């Protein structure tokens, strides 16, 4: 299966999921009047940590985030991202930015997500026999649509960057598995 076919298949998959779950949630709406005015009782903190080490390769990521539970079904939030990548004798890169997050739980076990991410990428390439040293700095925008299985505070799933362009995107693939934790 080539990348174009996979991209089209993923888009159809997310459209079908959205249609199925939107009709389910309309039929199952519950109206709950929440008299509590305590904002912080509805806030959850979480995020991710990433560490990757190899022969001459280092990848360190810190991605804290916070969400506000609007109700039992919808949560919105923000996230930060900091990253450091180094490939010995080739490049050193710093990544930093933020994201806007929307989570929808049509049923307690299923979590659908949309995340708009904007990160700045600063990379310094070392000189080698084929090229001189140079630096590159650019902004990367991604829009991830995802789905996952949720149990308690943990969600395991996959997301796809619908803006993915192999010539411009930060990552090697638009498709990414994830583990999301909020406390």
pLDDT of residue 104: 97
* Domain residue limits at 74: 3-182
The CATH number of the domain holding residue 149 is: 2.40.160.20
Q: How far apart are CA 93 and CA 143, in angstroms?
A: 22
Total domains present in the chain = 1
pLDDT of residue 170: 76
Tens-binned pLDDT, residue by residue, of the chain (183 aa): 444 444 445 555 555 545 444 444 444 444 455 555 789 999 999 988 888 888 888 889 999 999 999 999 999 999 999 999 898 888 899 999 999 999 999 999 999 999 999 999 998 988 877 888 889 899 999 999 999 999 999 999 999 999 998 887 777 788 988 889 999
């Amino acid at each position: 299966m080539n990348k174009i076919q996979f991209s089209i298949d993923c888009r159809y998959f997310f459209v079908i999921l959205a249609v199925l779950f939107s009709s389910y949630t309309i039929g199952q709406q519950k109206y709950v009047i929440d008299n509590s005015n305590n904002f912080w009782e509805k806030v959850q903190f979480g995020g991710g940590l990433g560490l990757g080490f190899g022969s001459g390769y280092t990848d360190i990521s810190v991605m804290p985030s916070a969400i506000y539970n609007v109700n039992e079904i919808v949560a919105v939030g923000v996230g930060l991202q900091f990253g450091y990548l180094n490939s010995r004798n080739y490049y050193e890169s710093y990544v930093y930015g933020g994201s806007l997050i929307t989570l929808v739980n049509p049923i307690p076990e299923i979590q659908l997500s949309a995340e708009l991410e904007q990160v700045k990428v600063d990379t310094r390439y070392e000189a080698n026999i084929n090229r001189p040293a140079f630096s590159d700095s650019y902004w990367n925008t991604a829009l991830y649509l995802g789905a996952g299985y949720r149990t308690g505070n943990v969600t395991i799933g996959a997301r796809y960057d619908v803006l993915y362009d192999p010539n411009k995107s930060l990552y090697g693939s638009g498709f990414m598995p994830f583990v999301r934790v909020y406390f």
